[in-house]
Structure 1
Amino acid sequence: MTSLDDLPIRDDLRGLTPYGAPQLEVPVRLNVNENAYRVPEAVALDIVQEIARALPEANRYPDRDFDTLRGAFADYLGHGLEPAQIWAGNGSNEVLQHVLQAFGGPGRSLLSFTPTYSMYPLLAQGVGMEWVPVPRAADFTLTPEAVRAAIAEHDPDVVFLCSPNNPTGTAIGLDVVEAAAEAARGIVLVDEAYAEFAHDRSQTALTLLERFPRLLVSRTMSKAFAFAGIRVGYLAADPAVIDALRLVRLPYHLSAITQAAAIAALRHSDEMLARVDALREQRDRIVDELAALGLQPHPSDANFVLVGGIADPARTFRSLLDRGILVRDVGLPGTLRITAGTPGETTALLAAMAELLAE
C-alpha cells in the first residue's frame, strides 16, 4: 500500500496536514462557531417543500448563474444591491477560493493581518500565491495608518480583511476598510462571515461598494442562518468582479438542491436573525461573567469569544472536555476560543470554568 510521501504531489504540499477541528460527540460543542440553534421546524418544512419542488427536475443541470438565489441575496443584503453584484458558492471558503483563483496565483501575493482566519494562507497556497501575514496590534485592532503602511510596504495583489475577525472577534472600522481600498492597487475583500452578530450591524463594508469597484464583501449562511451543514457562502461586488469569478468557477457548481434550500431559508431571515440576537446575548454573558471570574475575554462582535488570561490552555481544554464541553485552542498563548451557545450551554461552560479556576 502506497503512502502520501510516495505520491508525486506538489513540493509545497509535502508535510502539510488538512484543515480541520475536532468533531467529537459531546453534550456541549462550542468549538467551531456553529449556530447553537437548530433550524426552526417551520423554516425546515418550507426548505423541504422548496427542495421537493426542485427534485423532479434533478435530471437537468441547475441554473448555472443561480439568478433567483442572487436576487434573494441582493434583497436580503439591501444597500441598493442588484443581482448582478452577487456571487455564491458552496460555503464562503469556496467563494474566497474563486477570488484567489481569479485575482491571485503564482507570482502574486495575498496580505492579511494576523492572527486571523487560518484558511487564508491555505487558500493562498492552494493557488500558488505568496501569503504575507502582517501582525495586528497587541489588542488585535487595526488602524487606517497601519493598513496603509502594510500595503505600501508589501504592494499585495489581494488584501483580506476579516471583520469581525476570526479568532479574536475584533471589529474593523469602516475607516480601516476605506484606507485599504484607497491604498491597494488590487483587490480588497472584507470577510464579514460574522457580520450579523456585530453590536452595530450598520457598520458593514457593503456601504462602501459603490465608491470602490475593487472592493468585495463576503458573507456566509453557515452562522446566522444555521446552515453550516448546507454550505452556502456569497459575496457582493461590482458586476465586473462577478464576471471575473465566472471564469474560474466549475460548471453548475451550485446544485439545484442547494439553491432551493438557500432561497427558502432567506424567506425567513427575520426569524433566523431573532436566533442571532439570542446568541449575541450569550456571547456578551460569556464576556461579562468570565471577566468577573478574573479572566480576560476580548471584546467580540462575532458569535464567539477569545478568552485570555488562561494559565494553561491545553490543560483547561482537556479539563473542559472531561466535563463534556468542547472549546477551541487556536494556538494563541494563554487563550481559548469559545463559541456562544444556548443559555443552558453557556451556564454549563461558566460553571465548569468557575470550578477549574477554584481548583
Structure 2
Amino acid sequence: MIRQSLDNIRYYPDPEMKQARKGIARFLKIPEEYILPTAGGAAAIDLVTQLDGGCIFTLPPTFGEYTARAAIHGRKTAVWEGSCEPGDTLIVCNPNNPTGEVRTKETLLAILTETKACGGRLAVDEAFIEYCPEYSLRRDLQPGLILLGSFSKILGTPGVRLGYICAEPEIIERLRQKTLSWTPDTAATEIAAALPEHKEQIAAECELNRERRNLFRTQLQKLGAEVHPSEGNFLLVDFHWDMTAAAETLKARKILVRTCTSFGLPASFWRLAVKTEEENTRLIAALEEILHVR
C-alpha cells in the first residue's frame, strides 16, 4: 500500500478525505457521515480537546496527551469524580494506557449517562481497541459520545499518521472545520482505503498478540515482577524497586523500554510492548542478567 502511494505523492491529498472515510467506515461498519479521518490518534485528541471550552476530566494514570493538549487550548483539567458541567468532557482510554485495563461497555455507558445528565460529553480513546474489539462502543454511538481511534498500533505503522474520530454527524462537521487541510496524507489515505481487505489478517494478528502477551507475562512473573492484566499490546509491570538504572543499562544494549514516571507512576513501573517472541525473550534474558535472576 505504501509503495502504491508513491505514484500519487506529487498530488495533494483529497481535502474531502473521501477514500479514507470510506475505507475506515467499511472497516468499522459505521456510516461515513459518522467518521472523520485524522493524522493519527494525536490529531484526534487535539481536535476533541478544542471542541468545547469546559474542563477536560481524566482518570489517571492515563495517557498524558489529554491534559497536555487541553492546556494548550486553554482548558482546565481535573480528575473525574463523577460530576461535571455543560461544556466539560471526560476522556477515558479503553483499553487504558499504560495499565492495559479495559472497561466494559456497560461501565462506559453508565458513565456516559452521568456525563450527559450534567450536560457534558464522554470521549473514549479506543487507540488499542482492535486488540479487544468486543469492548468497543462503535455500535453505541449517540449524542454526547465521541470515539477516538488509531491504526498505528494494530498495523505497526506509527510513521504513517492515520487515526479517526467517530461521532454524530453534527459533531463530525464541527470538528472537520477545525481540521488542517490535506490530512491524512496520501500514504495514510491508501492504507485507510485498503483496511476492509485486511480484516482477517488484523484479527489473526490480534490473536497472535494475545498468545505472545500471555507467554511474556509468565516470563516476567518468573522474574518476580508484578504484571497487571492487559487487553492491549503492552503490559504494565511493577518490579517494586527503582528501575531507572536498569532502563539505562538496557538502552546501552539498544533495548528501549517505556518508563512510567510521565504517567505519574513510581520509577518501579515499566510499560513493556508485546513484540515478537524472539524480541520478548531477548528482553527477558537481558533482565535476568541485570537483575541477577537465574
TM-based fold match above 0.5: yes
Residues 263-288 of structure 1 show CA distances to partners (whole Å, capped at 9, x for unaligned) of 23553232244333323322222212
For residue 132 of structure 1, what is the aligned residue in structure 2? Answer: 78
Whether the 8 Å CA contact 2:127–2:150 is kept in 1: the answer is: yes
The 5-angstrom pairing of residues 302-321 of structure 1 reads 302-321=232-251
Q: Does 1:163 align with 2:94?
A: yes
Alpha carbons of structure 1 residues 320 and 257: separation in structure 2 relative to 1, 3 Å: closer
**Which of these residues, 207, 212, 215, is aligned with residue 139 of structure 2?**
207
- Structure 2: how far apart are the matches of 1:310 and 1:286? 18
Q: Structure 1 unaligned runs (5+)?
A: 1-45, 135-149
Q: Does 1:91 align with 2:45?
A: no
Question: Which amino acid letter does the alignment assign opposite residue 118 of structure 1?
Answer: G
- Structure 2: how far apart are the matches of 1:282 and 1:154? 43
Q: Does 1:335 align with 2:278?
A: no
TM-score (norm 2): 0.90
- Structure 1: how far apart are the matches of 2:21 and 2:144? 20
TM-score (norm 1): 0.74
Whether the 8 Å CA contact 2:50–2:70 is kept in 1: the answer is: no
Whether the 8 Å CA contact 2:93–2:124 is kept in 1: the answer is: yes
For residue 278 of structure 2, what is the aligned residue in structure 1? Answer: 344
Alpha carbons of structure 1 residues 50 and 255: separation in structure 2 relative to 1, 3 Å: closer
Question: What displacement does 1:318 show?
Answer: 2.0
Whether the 8 Å CA contact 1:115–1:167 is kept in 2: the answer is: yes
Residues 107-143 of structure 1 show CA distances to partners (whole Å, capped at 9, x for unaligned) of x210010000011111101111001134xxxxxxxxx
Q: Does 1:67 align with 2:26?
A: no
Q: Identity over aligned residues, as a percent?
A: 29
- SS class of match (1:132): strand
Name the count of aligned residue pairs: 286
- Structure 1: how far apart are the matches of 2:69 and 2:249? 33
Q: Does 1:117 align with 2:63?
A: yes
Q: What's the RMSD between the two structures over aligned residues?
A: 2.0
Question: What displacement does 1:157 show?
Answer: 0.7
Larger CA Rg, structure 1 vs 2: 1
Q: Does 1:297 align with 2:227?
A: yes
For residue 17 of structure 1, what is the aligned residue in structure 2? Answer: none
Question: Which amino acid letter does the alignment assign opposite residue 4 of structure 2?
Answer: Q
Q: Structure 2 unaligned runs (5+)?
A: none
- Structure 1: how far apart are the matches of 2:240 and 2:214? 19
Residues 29-86 of structure 1 show CA distances to partners (whole Å, capped at 9, x for unaligned) of xxxxxxxxxxxxxxxxx4422442x346x1xx432221221111111112xx100000
Whether the 8 Å CA contact 2:209–2:274 is kept in 1: the answer is: yes
For residue 144 of structure 1, what is the aligned residue in structure 2? Answer: none
